[in-house]
A and B are shown apart, each in its own frame.
Chain A
Amino acid sequence: MKDFTLRMHKERMLRVLVYIQQHLDDPLRLEILAGIACLAPHHFHHVFTGMLGESLARHIRRLRLERAAWRLKLSRMPVVQIALEAGYDTHEAFSRAFRNGFKASPTQFRRRHGTAYQLQVPSGVHYCDGVTLKDFRATRTGVKTMTVTIKQLGPMRVAFMRHVGPYNEVGRTWDRFMMLLGKEGLLGGDTQFIGICHDDPAVTPPDKIRYDACVTVGACFRPQGEIGVQVLAGGDYAVITHFGPYEKLGESYAKLLGQWLPRSGRDLRSTPCFEIYLNSPENTDPADLVTDLYAPLEPMQDILRR
């Protein structure tokens, strides 16, 4: 069963990797890649980063650089054109990125003998002209140290305020949201504080990132002004606890969705992940913050039916 799902998860991702290699000159939109992987866009980037050990943006950038290295060696294309096709507007920017990876300037690299065309990565996925990718290594660095529990949740009714803008500014939305709820006596001792990030800060432009600040409320609560109501779906969730600053939540999501999930025998449901904050950044050092991450799972029977 677990072998089957790991194969399934890897095959989906392999289709994406092949597509990327065949469309390196295209914009490679998140929605299209997520569709190929049969994943919701909000899950895709976590799964990708976790499985490949690098973010989608980095992966694409690296493959374009590796292709540039091939072309420097095996073609007579002018460096400026190679730079442009690698996605760099100026020769300087290209040179900097190239030197960063290959430890030589593009011209030095062209002259030198027997230089490798590949940049070291755990997945073993590299640009290879005309050859279709057959396999890759799914990263598993975090699997051993991860404690994942499966929880069954009932539906949760929450009041929420939508934040659209840079992720590091969600604190302001929380402040206002808490003030409006708090003065109404809606923040009790058993209130849960939940965050839902609908976009990936690494892919979506900062001003377009959508995030919902949510607080559990009773059945009597009605939407008012900027505050809406939504119900977080019940069902099975894979849960891990993240210790430390919120900036590193992405790494924990990537481990859970990209490393644990493929080996778990389970599959993701398309509803977004959410996080429950167990202490408050107002009176806690970032290093001592504790957050539970919830990834929604498809019911087991749906997987067995396949």
Chain B
Amino acid sequence: MPGQKIDLYKLYKDEYVTPRKPILVKTKPAQYLAISGQGAPGSDRFSACIGALYAVAFTIKMTRKFARKQDYAVCKLEGQWFFEADPARIPMDKWQWKLLIRTPDFINETDRQQAVATLREKRKPHEVEEVKLETINEGQCVQMLHIGPYDREHETIALMRAFAEQKGLKLVGPHHEIYLSDPRRTPPERLKTILREPAKKS
């Protein structure tokens, strides 16, 4: 089998730092498997999208592995959240998001289409067809580890915003989260999430 298993977190460890205080990170353009939707976290639509995203991610990886192509670890779930106003004022079922799994650059559209076709052949839910490959370029970001329930992220974001202002920067969004813990079992006060906010000169 060619080379060792690739771990993108190790390869790009500068982009996945988990500081307890806000810091600046420089990110390079990165390729993701992505699926967009609207609805409350935990809603049927949200869960179906997570399922579809993982199904495509696993199928691409395993198909390549079987063909003895470069192996890699499937990354953790990430999400971008698009809020036009303070999320506390938007009903949760109107929340808009894009769920992501970072994927090596050598994965291409043919891999994706083939995986989707295989999954549909096995009658996996139609959401797999909505999973796309997408390159996101966030450039300079403020980043910080949030420990605790998701509904207290605004406290961490406030620290990040203050830090950005100090540096003469403005958070321009979209808000990006990298889920390090499994919310199904981890007690809310122990949930670890990397928060990333793209920032530009103000």
Residues on A facing B (Cβ under 8 Å): 178-190, 218, 241, 243, 278-280, 282-283, 288, 290
The docked-state distance in angstroms from the alpha carbon of A179 to that of B65 is 7
Nearest first, the 7 A-B pairs at minimum CB distance are A189-B51, A182-B62, A185-B118, A185-B122, A185-B119, A187-B58, A183-B66
Find residues 79-129 in chain B having any chain A CB closer than 8 Å to their own CB: 115, 118-125
Q: Is B50 a contact of A185 with CB atoms below 8 Å?
A: no
- Known: A278-B185, A279-B182. Is A184-B51 also a contact (CB below 8 A)? no
Interface size class of B (residues with CB under 8 A): 35 or more
- Beyond the given pairs A184-B118, A185-B59, A185-B115, 17 more chain A to chain B contacts, judged by CB atoms under 8 angstroms and listed by A's residue number, are A180-B66, A182-B59, A182-B62, A182-B63, A183-B62, A183-B65, A183-B118, A185-B119, A187-B54, A188-B51, A188-B122, A188-B124, A189-B48, A278-B182, A278-B184, A283-B73, A290-B184
Q: Does B24 contact A (CB under 8 A)?
A: no
B47 (CB) vs chain A CBs: closest residue? A189
Q: Can you give 24 contacting A-B residue pairs, CB < 8 Å?
A: A178-B58, A180-B66, A182-B63, A183-B66, A184-B122, A185-B115, A185-B118, A185-B122, A187-B55, A187-B58, A187-B59, A188-B54, A188-B125, A189-B48, A189-B50, A189-B54, A189-B55, A278-B184, A282-B73, A283-B7, A283-B73, A283-B76, A288-B181, A290-B186
Q: Is B62 a contact of A187 with CB atoms below 8 Å?
A: yes
| A-contact bits for B172-197, CB 8 A (1 contact / 0 none) | 00000000111011100000000000
Q: Is A182 a contact of B122 with CB atoms below 8 Å?
A: no
Interface SS of B by simple majority: helix
Q: Does B145 contact A (CB under 8 A)?
A: no
Q: Does B75 contact A (CB under 8 A)?
A: yes
Q: List B contacts of A279 (CB < 8 A).
A: 182
Q: List B contacts of A186 (CB < 8 A).
A: 122
Q: Is B181 a contact of A282 with CB atoms below 8 Å?
A: no
Q: Does B33 contact A (CB under 8 A)?
A: no
The docked-state distance in angstroms from the alpha carbon of A187 to that of B66 is 14
The residue among A178, A185, A186, A279 with the most chain B CB atoms within 10 A of its own CB is A185
Find residues 48-71 in chain B having any chain A CB closer than 8 Å to their own CB: 48, 50-55, 58-59, 61-63, 65-66
Q: List A contacts of B7 (CB < 8 A).
A: 283
Q: Is B75 a contact of A283 with CB atoms below 8 Å?
A: yes
Q: Is B185 a contact of A241 with CB atoms below 8 Å?
A: yes
Q: List B contacts of A280 (CB < 8 A).
A: 74
Q: Does B9 contact A (CB under 8 A)?
A: yes
The docked-state distance in angstroms from the alpha carbon of A183 to that of B65 is 8
Closest Cβ–Cβ distance, residue B68 to chain A (whole Å): 10
Q: Is A182 a contact of B61 with CB atoms below 8 Å?
A: yes
Closest Cβ–Cβ distance, residue B62 to chain A (whole Å): 2
Q: List B contacts of A179 (CB < 8 A).
A: 62, 65-66
Q: List B contacts of A188 (CB < 8 A).
A: 51, 54-55, 119, 122, 124-125
- Known: A189-B51, A283-B74, A283-B75. Is A182-B58 also a contact (CB below 8 A)? yes
The docked-state distance in angstroms from the alpha carbon of A218 to that of B124 is 11
Q: List A contacts of B119 (CB < 8 A).
A: 185, 188
Closest Cβ–Cβ distance, residue A244 to chain B (whole Å): 12
The docked-state distance in angstroms from the alpha carbon of A182 to that of B185 is 25
The docked-state distance in angstroms from the alpha carbon of A179 to that of B74 is 13
